[in-house]
Structure 1
């Protein structure tokens, strides 16, 4: 699973620059984004790419004339559910894919449902990466609320000794345009993206806990896949 996101780096702005996003100043820069928090996503509609600040929880429900996170956990969407009709991500995978530009992501390793360590994974200084996500839009009165999720894959062999569960989908830069294009409804073209892959070098840093972010031990370097 992908448990938290880090967008606290000016290098994250490169995603908007390179993709010609029309409203780059809307980007949220924050070191610790947790599930149900707002997060900036890049979407494409009508041949235009924009930043949309979405609730990181794909399924919302209406309460007191507002949309709030559903009781069903949906900040991540498993890749093996994307082609299951009537699943939460089925339609979004075909029509509403997004990129989530980040400096890094965080994972928590559990044993017997208890956390044993927290690890932050980040790209090199001056770099960014984009996680592959899905989004939905919900109308309330005259306004539209956007929600999103991160697609997760089986664990990557290079990360299993640190985090044994699922890994987030990291989109290679040469697939950004195809991924965002809403006219690409034949999702078989994305089948090769659903295999664990690291298109970027990563640094893994154990921390005491996400809220205080005190490093524990040395940084471990993890090389990108060739």
Structure 2
């Protein structure tokens, strides 16, 4: 995915599953851009909770604390067998709720909106300063291209999870992944319908064209 997602409105489906998880999501627009903090990363350590995290997994120490390490492109995690990702995928899985995301194909950008909303699978890491303070970072997991999704982004497809409290709870467990959840990891699954708008920018989605329909699997 191309560095943008947002939870514009809390859909009834997202509200229901977040309540089942014991969460109260922020009731305002939550926009996420790579290299910036996002305030509603969902993780589980004992209980399920939300936290602020930098959408760029690899950080480095500086005089101002931990900052983005520009040498490593790490807002998306593709090959989960690589050392950068493998430990986190086994033990530190998170998720974010969203109602839209941005993709691109060549020079054309697309805003992909879902009426129900969706969950994106993530991994995260805590970076601990000498004074004990913690900076959290995360990456959105992407999978090999989904045939229909690749019309709008041919390199990869985000890891979409169903809005199902049982599935999401087991995804968040800080333990090796449950076998039945591999279906979402091995091959990208579209868990929601999208209206896809050709746009100039994600921030100002003033498309003059009617949307394309991208239906769930």
Verify same fold: TM over 0.5: yes
1:83-129 Cα offsets, whole Å, 9 max, x none, are: 23xx211111011000111112111222xxxxx211011211xx221
How many Å separate the matches in 1 of 2:90 and 2:51?
A: 19
Give the Å deviation of 1:38: 1.4
Partner in structure 2 of residue 192 of structure 1: 183
CA distance in 2, matches of 1:5, 1:152: 14
Name structure 1 gaps, 5 residues minimum: 111-115
Query: CA RMSD, aligned part only?
Result: 1.9
Report the TM-score, using the length of structure 1 for normalisation. 0.85
Alignment counterpart, residue 83 of structure 1, candidates 81, 84, 92: 81
Describe the SS at the equivalent of 2:141: strand
Kept in 2, the 8 Å contact 1:138–1:145? The answer is yes
Q: Tell me how far apart the structure 2 counterparts of residues 108 and 7 of structure 1 sit (CA, whole Å).
A: 19
| Number of residue-to-residue matches in the alignment | 209
Is the Cα contact below 8 Å between 2:150 and 2:157 reproduced in 1? no
Instruction: Kindly indicate whether residue 54 of structure 2 is the aligned counterpart of residue 55 of structure 1.
Output: yes
- The correspondence for 2:121, drawn from 132, 138, 154, is 132
Once the two structures are TM-superposed, the CA of residue 14 in structure 1 deviates from its matched residue by: 4.4
Q: Counterparts in 2 of 1:201-212, with a 5 A limit?
A: 201-212=193-204
Contact 1:101 1:128 in 2 (8 A): yes
User: Partners in 2 of 1:223 and 1:20 — Cα distance?
Assistant: 30
- List runs of 5+ in structure 2 lacking aligned partners: none
Work out whether residues 60 and 68 of structure 1, in 8 Å CA contact, stay in contact via their aligned partners in 2.
yes
* Residues 186, 132 of structure 1: alpha-carbon distance in 2 compared, 3 angstrom cutoff: closer
Q: Which residue of 2 aligns with 1:122?
A: 113
Is 2:208 the counterpart of 1:216? yes
**How far does residue 222 in structure 1 lie from its aligned partner after superposition?**
1.4
- Partner Cα separation in structure 2 for residue 188 and residue 70 of structure 1: 33
Give matches, 1:146-161, under 5 Å.
146-161=136-151
Task: Provide the TM-score with structure 2 as the length reference.
Answer: 0.88
Query: 1:171 aligned to 2:168?
Result: no
How far, CA to CA, are the matches of 1:161 and 1:26 in structure 2?
Answer: 32
CA shift digits 1:26-67 (9 cap, x unpaired): 577334x21011122100011x11011110001111110410
